[in-house]
Every structure is written in C-alpha cells, then in structure tokens.
Structure 1
Amino acid sequence: GTPALVSGSAIGRDIVRIPLELVEEPFDLIDLDTGRKVPYQIVRLGDPHAPVPWAAERYTLGKVDPAHLVEIAFVAEDVPPVGYKTYRIVPAGVEENFATSVKVGDTTIENRFFKVFLDLETGAIVSIYDKELGREVVDRNAPHRLGQFVARWAESGKEEGLKSSKMTKGELGPVYGSLRVRGEGPGCPAIVQEVVLYDRIKRIDLANRLIKDPTPLLEIYFAFPFEVENPRFRFEGSCSTIEPLKDQFPGSNTDTYAVQHWVEVRGGGYGIIWTSLDAPVAEFGGLWPGYISQAHHGVTPPGYEHEFLRLGELKKSYIYSYVMNNNFRTNFQPIQVGDVLFQYCFTVHGGDLKARDFGWSAANPLIPVFMEGSKDGRLPALGSFCEVDKPNVMLLALKRAEDEDGIIVRLMETEGRKTTAGLRLSFAEVSRAMLTNLVEEDLEPLEVSEGIVQVPIGPFGIATVRCSANIFAISPWARNSCTLTLPRAARRGARSLR
C-alpha cells in the first residue's frame, strides 16, 4: 500500500496529489492508528476559473500532466498537536459508497448542522438555519445578504452588487458539497463564488474569485450580516485580543480594523467565529464611510467627516470584509487589478468553542506528505513533536536556535492570565532550559523535571525558551513540520484535509 502522511494540528483543507492509476482503480484509505476505512472524495478540476487556489495554473499544467487536475479530500480525525498521522492507500476490489448528510439543491445546501438558502438575484445567502441550536444565523433585515459582493463608488457612495448571476451545483460527495454562483459586477467582469458545507465538520466556507479590471475609485466588500442579540465583538490583533471601542482610545478610528486570524461576535447565549484567509481588513457593525487620512485618500468620500463610534454604539453584529480600495494616492497603487481569490470560513457555537482554536486552525491547514511504498524510520504512525499543558498558552515557534545551541520554543498566553505552562518536546529529552529574550540571549534558568519545562508567562505575554536536549527521534521532514505556527487546542475533533 501507499502511505499518505498528514502533519499539523488544524482544521483545514489541503491538496493531496495521488497517482492517476489510484483514481482509475478502486482503493481504500486506511487510518493506521485505528485500522478503520476513511471516507474520501475524489475532486477533479475542470474549470480554470474555479474559486480554489491556483485553479488556472493547475488547469494549464493539467493539459500536460493530468495529475494536477485530481485531488483527494478526506477528514483526518484526532491529528495530535504539532504532530502527524499516517494513512495508507490500498487497492480494493470494488469502490465503496460512503453515506453523507450533505444535500445540494438548486438554491439550497444543507448538512447535519446547517440548512443554507441562497438568493438567485444576488447569488448571496439569505438564510442559515443552525439545526443544533435551532436558530437563524443571518439578519434577514440587513441591507445586504450574507456573502454578498458589494461595490461602492468612492465619489458618490453608490452601491452595486452582482449582476447576471447564475447558480449551479458544485461538488457533492461523502466529505463536502457546494453551490457555485457566477456573475459580474462593477470593475469585475467575472465573479465566481462558492458555498461549501462539510458532512462532519460544523463549518461553512465561502470562496470568491474576482477578475478585477483597472476601474478607478471603486471599493469592494463582502458582507456578513450575522444575527446576534446585544453583540459583543472580539478579534485577534498582533499577539493580542482586542474588544473594539472598549480597548481603544476615545476618538480613535472605528471604521476599519486589521484582523489576524479570527473575529468573534457573541450574545444571547451563542457566538459566531469568523475568519478571513486572504483579506485582513474588516469593518464591524455596518458599512462605514471609510476614514483614511487626508495624506492617503484621493477623492473625499461622502460621510468622510462622520463621528466615530463610542462605547455602547456597536449594536449590529455585522462584519464587512474590505478587500479592495481604489482611492489611495500615497504609498499605494491608485488602482488594484488582477485575478484574486478571497476565502472565508465561519462557525456557530453555543458558547463552548475557543475563537483562537478555530481561527488558527482555518489559517494553518493540515500539510499532506505523499510517499510511495514503505519507508524505514523510527517514528510511529501517530505522533506529536511538542505539547503544552495549558489551554490558554499557544505555540508561536519551534526551531533550532540561531547559534545552533539547542532548540528554541516561543509561547504566548492568550487569555490575559498569569500562567506557568508545562512544555514537553516529544522527540527529545530536555535536560536544561533557559528563558531568553526575543533575540535568543539567555536570561535565567528554568525548572526542568522528567523532561518537562516549567515556563512562566505573564498575561498576554510571550516567553522564549532555549532547550538543551538529547534528540532521539527526528528527521529533516519533522524539523520542517515543527516550524509550523499551530495551536495546541486542536488535539481533538475532526480535521479535514484536501
């Protein structure tokens, strides 16, 4: 059989290249940890404009090597933190039909978690019903639909949406299904959007491919008008968690925010976690005029002199992803053009899901490593390279020291609590550890007992540790995988790999 190695610890979708002969003949995908058959889905790329990464490039290369047009999607369960899990592809006599909860209709798509309704006119989502929580997720009275393409002219403030939309069924299999919408809009002669639901993962993905021409003075947004009572926003900034308005100086800009990996809006006993994989600038509560300093904007947009929000005035649970601005004149291109892809994912929960875990998992998908035939090695079929015993502490870096004296581990506290975390390297026995500064200069020794390092970290603090260790199970591939920036908390639950 052929092993397929999955490394990482995040919910995600990534491409696994497989030989074409495996696609042409039936095969089983075996979880080597449990021995069970894993449902999988063969996905063939047939459209260079598909809203998936590198679609046009893969389509072109596929004319010479058809392997670029084929991928396998499956759900990898219980991949250890900063670790790996191995699957084996073996020939099978007959092709197995796996059951799925995903149903794709003309304007609807649903699974065991959600039922989603799309609007033919705008191509956007008018309703998402959460079957587990028994509630509507979309504000149906909002000025825009969820996932709607919104183009706003900088000079007049006039808004326009998708035109000539056409909806078609996308993928459908045991792992996921999708609906696709094609159309055009101002400055965008071609727009392709896709809504994806998974059979066993409570998450909705939205992908938007735009062909942007050099039309000037045009802003482009994607709308996410969620329905949350008395909403409270939080988002991840640069190594920080920020609550808009509350954590700002009075009078500071409330139009736009730079988001790292996640935004969470909570209220009424439930919450929504949203992440943008490609466009970091977001607006909360509404589509604001867009304040940019006099030195940077071109024409002055309507409402430019509006007052910023004050504490208690952020009343709507809307998120707008700000993807293009064609009104800059200093230090930026005045127009934006090209073939671009904007991807989003979000989930709904009853208050029991960490936003950090979802956001970092979505942004750091599992990494597939494909190998033909068995390989000699000392590592088991399942393993982790680093473990941290506190859920409010996450790994930022795991690498060799710059001076090659030991291994550097960098940790961050994420919930504002003074913490002492236990750190263990699964591939090595740590004999000595030193707390260092960010440039890896030793500061003081740390307690080490039975290979576990006790690392003190202040609220929202960062700690860098130099570990002197006897490395007894590691390879060049493992060293590369350990440099991934991944959260600890993805130890349990479903992981999807594409």
Structure 2
Amino acid sequence: MIRLNTVFLLLVFLFGYKTAYNQANKRFVNGFASKINGNDFQYHSPIPLATESLLVRATDGSSQMEWLTSPLPDNNKDTAIIIWLAGIGSSPGYAAFDVWVNKIIENQCYEIGFDTLRGTVRSLFDKCSGHEWIASDDSTGLGAFIYETLGNRSQMESFKLDNYQRRLPDTVWFEGIQPGELFDAFRFRASTPAAMVPGGLITEYRLSKSFPRIEIVYHLEKKLVTEPEGIYIAFPFDLEGGNLAFDVQGGEIRPGIDQIPGSANDWNTVQTYARIYDNNKQLILSSNDIPLMQFGGINTGRYKADAKPASLYRYSWPMNNYWTTNFNAYQMGTHEWTYTLTTSADASQATAARFGAENKVPFLSRVIPGGGKDQPEDKFSIFSNWPAHVMLVDMKPLDDEGCLFMHVREIAGQKVLFEPETLTKTYSIQMVRCDANGNILPEANSLLSPYESAFFKI
C-alpha cells in the first residue's frame, strides 16, 4: 500500500511482469498481480507485456492505493525480490510517499494495524475475545506522542488552561522490523519539537511470540526547554459498558468514583497497573517507568472537583515542567521508557494485580557457588499451600530474630486462611501475625479479609 503525504499531484503506475522470466528465476516476484483498491489506468508502458496499472492522485491531505503481489516463492529463502515499475509526476516539485508491506501484523493473540503516517497503532484486534480495543472515533492512534506547549505559565497557577498548543510529530517514517526469538519489534522514527535533532524520537512496538503481551518502548533525545511544556502518550481504548480502574498503594480504585472526595483527579498516580474491563474480558496496562496517568482525556487545566472520566481513554504523562517549586526548570538528554499491555478473558482484579506486580518486580536470581563436585544438589520450594489470590508485596530477613518479615495482600476479594507450609520434612516453619512495625499481635489469627493487607513473621 502506498500512502501519500504530499499536497502535490502524484502519479504512480504499477505494472505486472507476466513473463516466463519469473518462472525461470524463483527469486523474482511479480510486484503487481491484482488490485485491492485504487483507480485503473491505461498507460503506454515501455515493456510490451506490462499493460495493467493503478493510479493515485493527491492534491492535499493523503491518498492511498493497495494491491496484491504474486505469492512469494516457497524456496526456504529469507529474501525475495519484488519487481514493479513506478512513475511519479509532481507539478510543484518534491513529493514523498510511503510504501507499507502487510499493514496488518498478527500472531496467535492479536491482529495489529499500524498507521505508518503517524507511527501509531490504529487497530488492536483481540483474537481470543473478538474485540477491537481501539476506539472507532479515535483520531491519533494507540501510542501517539503528543507534545504540549503553553502560551504562559501563569494560567496553570490560576487553575485554568486556555492558551496552549498540542502537536503530533512533524515527520514519521517506518525504520524496519527486527525479528527475534521472544518478540518481533516494529520501529518508527519521528521528528518532534521536543527532540534535540530531527528523528530524535523512536517508538518501538514489540509483539510477543508466546504470550498475549505487547510492549511499547520510547526513546527520546530531549531538547532543553525552559518554557512550559508537557508530553502525553495516547491510549485510546474502548469497551462498551466497560469500567476503568487502577491500583494504588494497597488496593484498586475507580478514578473519580472511589477516591477521597476532593482529591486530585485531573491526573492519578498508578502503582502497578490500570485496566478497562467488563464481565468477560479486560485490557491491562502497566509501566515500570511512568506512574502518572490521566483518565478519560487530557485533563490538564480541568480543575473540577470530583469529576469522572469522560471516556475509557487514558493518557500517560511522561514529563512536564509546569511546576516551579521543587522541580527542575527543564528536562533534557536521553530518556527511555516502556509500557506493557496484555488482555485476558479472566476479568478479575486478581489477574490484573498479578500482571502489574510481575511487570514491576523483576525476577530475582542469585548465583550460589557449589561446595564441590561430590556435593548433592540442594533445592526445594520454601512454601506450599500458598493461596493463589494472596500476593507477596514485600519480604525481608530479620537476622537478629532469625525470621522472615513479610507483607502480603489478598487480591481477589475473598476471605482466606493464610497458612503456608513447607514441602519438605527437613524444615518446619512457625508463623505469627504482626503489625507493620513487626510487633506481634497475640490475639490475631491467619484469616485474611477481602483485599486486606497483613504482616507476618515466619
């Protein structure tokens, strides 16, 4: 598919090579076998057998055409040469166009459609649920980089915002696909006023090969700017009848609903995840780097007490310099941050909490030297009988007491007895319940109430 991002008259002619040459050399592929959409055009070709062609014109905005090539040869080669003949006519002068191959990328979990003019995702179709997660009326796309500048800083100090400008990147181009054993990466590069140099913004979409998991990685060479500025990343999700929720320190809340009355709701601090869900499915978004999110829209300057989200959209807020007390006047240099999302047919809070915690807390490992080649391997699981809906928040050894001090939380809204055991007779454990300071609670038991946090010494 060719998408034209030029205001000029642009003519492109494609000709099929229907000769025996393609049969003789299996590396060459007919670049134009049939039309999907576009205007048929008769053109006197310098190649006698090449008589079929397509035409696309654009005087402003953008236009496109789409076609199929012949099937790629099944010869176990990593590359093939696709041949077509193109003619470009532009009356004002320079004209640019993009060529996009296979605009829909898919694996066993998702079909993803990219907008190559913006470097964003315009479609995220969940094969398991049959749901399209991107809102149909969205105008920017998933992953859109939005750069905001203010006409003056005093308006924020006056609790309003009426003099501002928001811009998408000026120029975007597709840089390539990097296949991998764990994921395939699709990389776009863009120019933005927020960057030091042209092409100073890189957006990489990583599609997992084994799990329903997508990572979006941003790399920005940030320009030093002391005038008020901010950056947002768009996540225009939609789910009819769906709900928004995110976790805070110790539990989950719905923005604008479960908050303390009068508390800040233009933006919120997300602990490990934010999700949209109904009774049958959910989409979970987590970031280990960027905690600030705005729910329902870009709410900067709204300043409306107890306001509720206007939609299921969410906008991450990686950086700004709007506040002048206890903050730097600028941000500059190399910045990199990542978002991770997944979908699930299990719409429970427990599934979201596990995903958020697993994404935020790295898997810990330690190399322990052996005591000699004749020493038997000593390995075992410390605990058994650990309820699946009890999450370990933190744990540390207390050397002076010879015990482990742990913080746990029930995440499924169910009562449960928390009485872990060991899997081996060689070791035994004794567990007592404590307060947050480690003081033993003699009258307490191991029963956890729904969503309760508790502390134990083992």
The residue number in structure 1 matching 2:224 is 214
1:388 to 1:357, Cα distance in 2 relative to 1, 3 A:
farther
1:249 to 1:369, Cα distance in 2 relative to 1, 3 A:
closer
Give the conservation status (yes or no) of the 8 Å contact 1:231–1:315: no
For 2:127 and 2:411, locate their aligned partners in 1 and report how far apart those are by CA, in whole Å: 31
In the alignment, is residue 200 of structure 1 matched against residue 199 of structure 2? no
For 1:432 and 1:445, locate their aligned partners in 2 and report how far apart those are by CA, in whole Å: 16
The residue number in structure 2 matching 1:355 is 352
Give the conservation status (yes or no) of the 8 Å contact 1:114–1:129: yes
In the alignment, is residue 403 of structure 1 matched against residue 364 of structure 2? no
After superposition, the C-alpha distances for 1:280-323 in whole angstroms (9 at most, x for unaligned) are 000111111x2xxxxxxxxxxxxx3653454xx53411111100
For 2:432 and 2:249, locate their aligned partners in 1 and report how far apart those are by CA, in whole Å: 25
For 1:387 and 1:273, locate their aligned partners in 2 and report how far apart those are by CA, in whole Å: 29
The one-letter amino acid paired with 1:158 is Q
The Cα of 1:231 is off from its aligned counterpart by 2.7
For 1:250 and 1:397, locate their aligned partners in 2 and report how far apart those are by CA, in whole Å: 30
1:425 to 1:331, Cα distance in 2 relative to 1, 3 A:
farther
Match of 1:463 among 432, 454, 457: 454
The Cα of 1:138 is off from its aligned counterpart by 0.7
1:344 to 1:384, Cα distance in 2 relative to 1, 3 A:
farther
The residue number in structure 1 matching 2:118 is 122
TM-score, structure 2 normalization: 0.68
The residue number in structure 2 matching 1:341 is 336
For 1:274 and 1:238, locate their aligned partners in 2 and report how far apart those are by CA, in whole Å: 17
How many correspondences in the alignment? 340
User: Whose strand fraction is larger, Structure 1's or Structure 2's?
Assistant: 1
For 1:371 and 1:177, locate their aligned partners in 2 and report how far apart those are by CA, in whole Å: 34
Match of 1:169 among 170, 176, 186: 176
For 1:377 and 1:364, locate their aligned partners in 2 and report how far apart those are by CA, in whole Å: 31
For 2:356 and 2:397, locate their aligned partners in 1 and report how far apart those are by CA, in whole Å: 27
Provide structure 1 residue ranges, at least 5 long, that are not aligned to the other structure: 1-103, 291-303, 447-453, 468-498
The one-letter amino acid paired with 2:319 is M
The residue number in structure 2 matching 1:132 is 128
1:305 to 1:198, Cα distance in 2 relative to 1, 3 A:
closer
For 2:367 and 2:398, locate their aligned partners in 1 and report how far apart those are by CA, in whole Å: 29
The residue number in structure 2 matching 1:252 is 263
- Specify the SS of the correspondent of 1:355: helix
The one-letter amino acid paired with 2:201 is I
Structure with more relative contact order (C-alpha pairs < 8 Å, separation 6 or more): 1
The residue number in structure 2 matching 1:231 is 242
The one-letter amino acid paired with 1:443 is L
For 1:205 and 1:193, locate their aligned partners in 2 and report how far apart those are by CA, in whole Å: 10
1:306 to 1:239, Cα distance in 2 relative to 1, 3 A:
closer
Give the conservation status (yes or no) of the 8 Å contact 1:170–1:178: yes
- Specify the SS of the correspondent of 1:439: coil
* Higher CA-based Rg: 2
1:262 to 1:160, Cα distance in 2 relative to 1, 3 A:
same
The Cα of 1:329 is off from its aligned counterpart by 0.6
Provide the identity percentage.
24
- Specify the SS of the correspondent of 1:359: helix
Provide structure 2 residue ranges, at least 5 long, that are not aligned to the other structure: 1-99, 152-162
1:371 to 1:109, Cα distance in 2 relative to 1, 3 A:
farther
The residue number in structure 1 matching 2:313 is 318
The Cα of 1:143 is off from its aligned counterpart by 3.6
Give the conservation status (yes or no) of the 8 Å contact 2:277–2:347: no
TM-score, structure 1 normalization: 0.62
Match of 1:275 among 274, 281, 286: 286
* Two-structure CA RMSD over aligned residues (Å): 2.8
- Specify the SS of the correspondent of 2:356: helix
Match of 1:242 among 246, 253, 256: 253
Match of 1:429 among 427, 430, 436: 427
